[in-house]
Structure 1
Amino acid sequence: MAVAARKEWKREVKRKAIKYKRPNLYIACEEINFIWQEKAVEEFREMWREGYSIHEMAEYFQRGTDEVMILAMDQSRHHHIKSRPGGVWGI
């Protein structure tokens, strides 16, 4: 499901690039997977509260640290996680 959703997202981005006649459009972080299962997001929030580092969470979820960092940024912006001692590095 996540792969199909990502492919659809890429098609939509390319469609918009064509619509706005910007053939030399650069898409930042295109290779990063921004899609997460809701259960994994809940696990992330719990691990964040428990003080796990971004590196530990990346290993647990078998994802890149960039992907986990983007999720942390997203969750912080939506007020689902709070600042903590040690920041992204954990306790």
Structure 2
Amino acid sequence: MVNALKHEDTHILLENADIQWYWDGSQIIRFRELWREGSSIEEIAEELGSNSTSIALLVMDQAEESNIRPRKRGIFGK
């Protein structure tokens, strides 16, 4: 990660976003089930008590780790 001074002409990604960074094992298992069932990120967020931004990041994390597979409609589900 790069430490950068904040300048007027820069943008810090997700600087003010409400992100859930930590997930326990049961949440990950449920996330994977919902993903396989075709739930949208909004539906998954509601089920897990989170928000769609956090779920989108979790999707990227789990895909990067090869824990979930791509879906025909991606984050939109069925």
* TM-score normalized with structure 2 length: 0.77
Q: Distance in 1 between matches of 2:20 and 2:12?
A: 13
Query: Runs (4+) of structure 1 moved beyond 4 Å?
Result: 22-27
- The residue number in structure 2 matching 1:73 is 60
Instruction: Quote the RMSD (CA, aligned, Å).
Output: 1.9
Q: Does 1:29 align with 2:14?
A: yes
Q: CA deviation at 1:29?
A: 2.8
- Give per-residue Cα distances to partners, 1:40-90, cap 9 Å, x unaligned: 001101110010000100111111100011000000000000011211100
Q: Does 1:54 align with 2:41?
A: yes
Gaps of 5+ in 1: 1-16
Greater C-alpha Rg: 1
* Larger helix share, 1 or 2: 1
Q: Which amino acid aligns with 2:26?
A: K
* TM-score normalized with structure 1 length: 0.67
Q: Distance in 2 between matches of 1:24 and 1:56?
A: 35
Aligned length: 71
Gaps of 5+ in 2: none
Q: Which amino acid aligns with 1:58?
A: A
Q: Distance in 2 between matches of 1:90 and 1:33?
A: 21
